[in-house]
């Protein structure tokens, strides 16, 4: 993809907190990374996980716990959450990849429900309340992430924003690299024609498992970031709603495209915040939007755009 597009996107990311509501931007970055991680599996390996909230939410609890109770610095908290998600991804992936298609999705869903149950019942997760008031702490023990600066009269946590933005770029870069690596090439082969990949001598289970772990780890990193932004790890993060939401974002934006999940996350998060005043009708509105979009743009926004431009975006 063209270099100028990347530069524009980075510049937009850098100036965004001066233009739009920064918490909105940070939420967007967290969910965009989550969707990109999910897309690595669905779009590039052909595996539909219906339990990705377990990694997102699980990591957000771990980070919250490490920072709040363990008193760790935020970067270590995020590292801990990400590693936890990778490990959980290894466990879930090992069980799920033995099955294909809908059975794969069902196993991931079932295992994610177990994680939800643990989050509800375990003594250290705060039950229905979740973990609240997670401190943002000092990055590397030096930079105060809670520090706010006045922009246009309102306080903005710029340090936190740029930390989150940097993490997003790191995560996105890992995904981009993975997609465009020799490994990613084999993933695409598996997606396109699994028996053929096997007959060429690829041990597809190992590839799928590795992809699963990478995807889970980055979904976890997104969840860890979210727990610092909202200073909260809650049951919503591990619920199947969240698993469904990430599927929705990815499909809306364009599965199997690099930029699709970003656009999808942007669409869903914007709708959610613009429509927050209409209460529970929001689910209906998002649902209808989704159906209409899928009918009109079968490949998602970016997928259709790519087809028009005859380019892979």
Partner 1 sequence: MADYILETKNLFKEFRGFTAVSGVNLQIQRGHIHALIGPNGAGKTTVFNLLTKFLTPTSGSIHFNGDDITSEKSADIALRGIVRSFQISAVFPGLTPRENVRLALQRKLGVSYHFWKSDAILLQLDGRVMELLEDVGLVDYADEITGELAYGRKRALEIATTLALDPELMLLDEPTQGMGVEDVDKITALVRKVSTRRTILMVEHNLKVVATLADRITVLQRGAILAEGPYAEVSQDPLVLEAYMGSAHA
Residue 144 belongs to what H/E stretch? strand 143-144
Q: Other CB atoms closer than 10 Å to residue 94's CB: what's the count? A: 13
- Contact residue for partner 1 among 98, 206, 298, 311 (CB under 8 A): 206
Q: How far is the CB of 185 from partner 1 (least distance, A)?
A: 6
In the list 188, 272, 282, 289, the residue contacting partner 1 (rule: CB under 8 A) is 188
User: Could you give the angle at the alpha carbon of 241 between the alpha carbons of 235 and 242, nearest 5°?
Assistant: 75
194 and 245 Cβ atoms separated by less than 8 Å: no
Residue choice 162, 183, 289, 294 for contact with partner 1 (CB under 8 A): 183
Of 107-115, 120-128, 206-214, 277-285, which part binds partner 1 (CB under 8 A)? 206-214
- The C-alpha atoms of residue 239 and residue 60 are separated, in whole angstroms, by 13
Near partner 1 by CB under 8 A: residue from 106, 204, 285, 294 = 204
| Per CB under 8 A, 248 contacts partner 1 | no
Residue 189 binds partner 1 (CB under 8 A)? yes
Q: Which of 152, 153, 201, 279 binds partner 1 (CB under 8 A)?
A: 201
Stretch that binds partner 1, among 75-83, 130-138, 183-191, 260-268 (CB under 8 A): 183-191
Q: Does 182 bind partner 1 (CB under 8 A)?
A: yes
**Pair 296, 303: CB distance under 8 Å:** no
Spatial CA neighbour of 304 closest among 294, 247, 2, 42: 294
| Residue 184 binding partner 1, by CB under 8 A | yes
Instruction: Please give the backbone phi and psi of residue 63, each rounded to the nearest 5 degrees, phi first.
Output: -60, -45
Give yes or no for residue 98 binding partner 1 (CB under 8 A). no
Q: Which stretch binds partner 1 (CB under 8 A): 105-113, 162-170, 175-183, 263-271?
A: 175-183
- Does 15 bind partner 1 (CB under 8 A)? Our answer is no
82 binds partner 1 (CB under 8 A): no
Q: Which of 72, 120, 198, 313 binds partner 1 (CB under 8 A)?
A: 198
Q: What angle do CA 52, 44, 271 make, to 5 degrees?
A: 55
Residue 100, interface with partner 1 (CB under 8 A)?
no
| Element of type H or E holding 19 | helix 3-19
**The one among 16, 59, 210, 235 contacting partner 1 by CB under 8 A:** 210
Sign of the CA dihedral 166, 172, 175, 179? negative
3-class secondary structure, 109: helix
| Interaction of residue 202 with partner 1, rule CB under 8 A | yes
The least distance separating partner 1 from the CB of residue 54, rounded to whole angstroms, comes to: 22
DSSP 8-state assignment for residue 151: E
> Cβ of residue 99: shortest distance to partner 1, in angstroms?
17
Instruction: Using the rule CB under 8 A, give the single segment among 134-142, 202-210, 221-229, 298-306 that binds partner 1.
Output: 202-210
The rounded distance, in Å, linking the Cα atoms of 275 and 45 is 34
Tokens of 48: 């539909």
Whole-angstrom distance, CA of residue 263 vs CA of residue 246 = 12
Verify binding: residue 180, partner 1, rule CB under 8 A.
yes
| Nearer of residues 203 and 298 to partner 1, judged by Cβ | 203
Please tell me what DSSP assigns to residue 310: T
Rounded distance, CA 36 to CA 171, Å? 9
Tell me, rounded to whole angstroms, the distance of Cα 36 from its chain centroid.
6
Residue 94 as a binder of partner 1 (CB under 8 A): the answer is no
Query: Under the rule (CB under 8 A), what is the footprint of partner 1?
Result: 177-178, 180-186, 188-189, 191-193, 195-204, 206-207, 210, 214
């Amino acid at each position: 993809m063209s270099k100028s597009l990347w530069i524009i996107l980075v510049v937009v990311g850098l100036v965004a907190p001066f233009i739009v509501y920064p918490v909105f931007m940070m939420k967007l970055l967290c969910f965009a990374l989550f969707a990109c991680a999910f897309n690595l599996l669905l779009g590039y390996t052909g595996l539909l996980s219906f339990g990705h909230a377990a990694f997102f939410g699980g990591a957000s609890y771990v980070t919250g716990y490490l920072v709040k109770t363990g008193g760790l610095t935020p970067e270590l908290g995020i590292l801990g959450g990400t590693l936890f998600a990778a490990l959980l991804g290894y466990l879930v992936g090992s069980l799920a990849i033995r099955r294909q298609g809908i059975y794969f999705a069902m196993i991931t869903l079932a295992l994610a429900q177990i994680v939800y149950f643990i989050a509800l019942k375990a003594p250290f997760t705060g039950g229905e309340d979740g973990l609240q008031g997670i401190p943002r702490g000092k990055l590397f023990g030096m930079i105060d992430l809670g520090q706010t600066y006045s922009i246009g009269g309102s306080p903005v946590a710029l340090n936190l924003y740029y930390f989150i933005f940097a993490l997003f770029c790191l995560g996105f870069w890992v995904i981009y690299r993975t997609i465009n690596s020799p490994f990613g090439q084999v993933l695409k082969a598996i997606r396109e024609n699994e028996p053929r990949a096997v007959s060429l001598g690829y041990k597809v289970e190992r590839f799928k498992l590795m992809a699963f772990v990478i995807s889970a780890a980055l979904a976890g990193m997104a969840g860890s970031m979210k727990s610092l932004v909202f200073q909260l790890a809650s049951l919503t993060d591990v619920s199947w709603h969240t698993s469904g939401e990430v599927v929705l974002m990815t499909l809306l934006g364009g599965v199997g495209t690099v930029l699709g999940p970003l656009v999808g996350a942007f669409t869903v998060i914007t709708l959610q915040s613009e429509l927050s005043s209409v209460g529970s009708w929001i689910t209906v509105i998002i649902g209808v939007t989704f159906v209409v979009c899928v009918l009109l743009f079968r490949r998602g926004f970016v997928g259709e755009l790519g087809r028009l431009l005859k380019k892979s975006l």
